[in-house]
Structure 1
Amino acid sequence: MKTALHQPASFDLLGGKLHVYRRENSRFFQCSTYLAGRNHRATTKHHDPERAIEAAEEWYLSLKVKHRSGELKGGKLFQDAATKFEGEYAALVAGERNPEYVKGHSLKLRVHLLPFFGEMPVAEITDQTVQDYRVHRMTSRKDAKTGQPKRPSRSTLHQEIITLRHVLKTARRLGWIKFIPDVSSPYKANGKVTHRAWFSLPEYNSLVEATRKRAEEPPKKRWKWECEQLHDFVLFMANTGLRPDEAARLEFRDVEIVKDPATKETILEIAVRGKRGTGYCKSMPMAVFPFQRLQARKRVAERKERGSWAGSTKINESQLSPPQPTDLIFPDLRHHHLNAVLDETKLKFDREGLRRSAYSLRHTYICFRLMEGADIYQIAKNCRTSVEMIEKFYAAHIKNMIDTAAVNVMKKRSKEPRPEGAAKAERPEPKREAKAKRRKTGGKYGKPAFPQ
């Protein structure tokens, strides 16, 4: 009697069209075949060779039936194109795109796209298939409390469609498909005029006053350094228009105090490194004093985890030193107390319900510049963005962008001169005067209306 160890590990059946084999460290036999342009594999769920062969033949015949009836689709699968895309994309954009952004594509594929499209031949993905995916994402997740669908945000779904388009473009380059299906939303209406959450002038003054008070009287003494840093952070951001991630990378050597030759004012010239690579920014004059306070504020050389940059209460003043040129201006930016101040002043949400954050200070800078009449192109250049973004998200809701003198224009109507020899048109008599005249002259038919 042969044991399982002495039994053959593979069989070729039906003239080599069907293969039955057993992998290492597995007690079940597997079967595979090549049909309709791709390989098919399955497990027989049997460890006995005879039963495994019988199950494999039944599986092969069922595939043949599906192939003849048109149910078995051929061609490369979506998961093959996704694997190819991940390898190419990571290699081609290395050093150019943020590593977290590259990982985001893989995450979207693994969590959302592959479970829906993975086993689907890439040639079978049509316009309607993409819309079916949109419906699936809008209705598949349910809220445990209310039972209502948890719809992803518009931007989240848009990013997933971008990843899907990348995979389809990869399949087209490889010759697996002839064209890319239309992945745009079929029922997209004209978007409403939206804006980014920003602070109006009274709201901004309230925020600055709250941070100033917090810097003078911090909730806890050990937070004094952080509260002073927060106050200068708000003033610095609202007068430079930097993105929070750009401010987080900013070092003291990146900022220079200069006298602007055009305005004769003292401003900051900043070398910015962030989302758009390396760029430059010129600040408002009000950003100079906060930066000088940041330069003069002493800190410890090395901070303990979850500690303060001012050190503990037991530390001596001699152990603190001014920051070095290579030090970050805003270390541990994510730990600032801005959210606490926004909650205290009830400024966390704007009139439209939009959530405010550190990014809102950049939006405030742009809106204030527009309200003062600055040129849109120069604002976009100084903020390292495009004119289209400024017009779409900022200028559309600023009332100062409407020129009243250009809108409320009335055409002057000049009196036309009367032609020479033209008779002056007689004005018709009023009805009351005509009736009184008829009474005096004898009525309508020439006779007195009443005896005299």
Structure 2
Amino acid sequence: MDKDTILDGKVNLYKRPSSRFWQCSAYLDGKNRRASTGQESLFEAKLFAEEWYLTLRGKMKDGTLKNAEKTFRQAALQFQIEYETITQGQRSPAWVRGHKDRLRLHLLPFLGDLGLSEVTSGKVQEYRLHRIETARGGKPPARNTLHNEIVTLRQVLKTAIRHGWLDRLPDLSMPYKTQGKISHRPWFSPKEYKQLYQATRENAQNPSRPQDKKHAEDLHDFVLFMANTGLRPDEASNLEHRDIDIVEDAATDEVILEIEVRGKRGMGYCKSMPGAVMPYRRLVQRHKPEPQDKVFPVNHIRMFNTILRNTGLKTTRDGKRRTAYSLRHTYICLRLMEGADIYQVAKNCRTSVEMIERFYAAHIKDTIDTAAVNVRRDPKKRNRSIAAEILDEDAEREPAE
């Protein structure tokens, strides 16, 4: 390998056997830097290397010399490649697409060209301010919207850490954060649930069009089935008749459904309330299915929403929209109101106790033990104890005879 130096050995020049161009290198600001001169002549290469070195020295003095590092855009691209491949079949396509949309629409335009070390806690706070100030129509993005964007940002930075492009994760927590307002997911109270199934029963008996009778009957049984099992809508859509067994439960001596569930959390099991048995039997009698057939092959969402609007149940008093998911929330809330063990409810619904406590138990008045809260001491005993303490103190102060 041909070698040479300039500027008292501060810049090295060398030519690899596999290349016809001279290369130059120098150690500056704690890093060994290299560049190709693009010159075959040693004289021309020395001129290029001298100018290159002096330019780097000037940038170092001005504080504009940056170590070569991966950008946020490169880490985001790597994250998208890995995430979609590794989570295939474990995350819904809509959730994966959400990460891509948040990167494309918001994160990359603001952070894309920055080096990974420049994505600091302060820069993330600037991003939050930017999102609020540039919101369409002057309406700031919802708390959950910003939260999801920070989740995507954290996933990208964790990808960079795994590849050694970043040494640590910056603090991404929300500064000046106040405790989130306690709210509950839209559900049907016992009175509202009764109003709903009475409306779906009336619709099944007297549909607006004769050709809709079968669909109306299926919708009525769907409402009863979902509110007595707590299944997620996607779990119900994946449900096949071979996944359901009608059994007599040994613990309660009641006939229930044992369901093998496949959905968001993979495979799990559910034991229904007795109220789910009759709707399921009606579905079987009506459709006479094969074991591999879907229990709910048709989506009745349009008819369901029409009934919700006609009965005034589409939105809660807080303005939240009710959907088929609200039937799952109703199941959980009704079980808690009846005093069911929160761990068993979480297990039967394939979720965590933390989720139950956060989104459901906080607004269920029946979960508060009145006997434990409304404790009152006997006023007479309390007064006697105070009087005894006073007498003891006086006795200690009396002089000994």
Question: What amino acid is the match of 1:69?
Answer: D
Q: Given the alignment of the two structures, is residue 237 of structure 1 paired with residue 226 of structure 2, yes or no?
A: yes
Q: Deviations over 1:236-287 (max 9, x none)?
A: 0111111111111111111111000111111111111011111111111111
In the TM superposition, what are the counterparts of 1:279-318 in structure 2 within 5 Å? Answer: 279-298=268-287
Give TM-score, length-normalised by structure 2: 0.79
Which of these residues, 269, 282, 294, is aligned with residue 328 of structure 1? 294
2:382 is the counterpart of 1:389: no
Higher helix proportion: 2
Structure 1 residues 368 and 335: alpha-carbon distance in aligned structure 2, compared to 1, 3 A threshold: closer
**What aligned pairs does 1:116-135 form with structure 2 within 5 A after superposition?**
116-135=110-129
Q: Distance in 1 between matches of 2:384 and 2:134?
A: 73
Partner in structure 2 of residue 8 of structure 1: none
Q: Deviations over 1:145-182 (max 9, x none)?
A: xxx2x322222221211111111122223333222111
- 1:94 maps to a residue whose letter is Q
| Residue of structure 2 equivalent to 1:189 | 178
Is the CA contact 1:255–1:269 (under 8 Å) kept in the aligned structure 2? yes
% same residue = 56
CA drift at 1:36: 10
Instruction: Find the residue that maps to 1:163 and give its secondary structure.
Output: helix
SS of corresponding position for 1:209: helix
Please say which structure displays the higher CA radius of gyration: 1
Distance in 2 of aligned mates of 1:62 and 1:112? 35
Runs of 4+ in 1 over 6 A off after TM superposition: 14-17, 35-39, 61-65
Residue in structure 2 matched with residue 136 of structure 1 by the alignment: 130
SS at 2:257 equivalent? strand
Contact residue 230 and residue 338 of structure 1 kept, 8 A: yes
Matching residue's letter, 2:80: E
Conserved 8 A contact 2:135-2:141: no
Q: Is the 8 A contact 1:380 1:387 kept in 2?
A: yes
Matches of residues 205-220 of structure 1 in structure 2 within 5 Å?
205-220=194-209
Deviation string for 1:364-399 (max 9, x for gaps)?
Answer: 111111111111111111111111111111111111
Q: Residue type matched to 1:234 in 2?
A: V
1:102 aligns with 2:99: no
Q: Distance in 1 between matches of 2:121 and 2:101?
A: 23
Residue pair 1:36, 1:73 contacting (<8 A) in 2 also = no
Tell me, in whole angstroms, the C-alpha distance in 1 between the residues paired with 2:99 and 2:303: 32
Deviation (angstroms), 1:82: 1.4
RMSD: 3.1
Change (3 A) 1:195 1:65: same
Matched residue, 1:339: 305
CA contact (8 A) 1:38 1:76 kept: no
* Runs (5+) with no aligned partner, structure 2: 1-20, 25-30, 36-53, 392-401
Map 1:410-429; keep pairs closer than 5 Å: 410-412=376-378, 413-414=380-381
- Count of matched residue positions in the alignment of Structure 1 and Structure 2: 346
Aligned to 2:79: 85
Mind listing any 5+ residue stretches in structure 1 that lack a counterpart? 1-13, 18-34, 40-60, 299-321, 423-452
In structure 1, how many angstroms separate the alpha carbons of the residues matched to 2:298 and 2:34? 53
Q: Is the 8 A contact 1:239 1:365 kept in 2?
A: yes
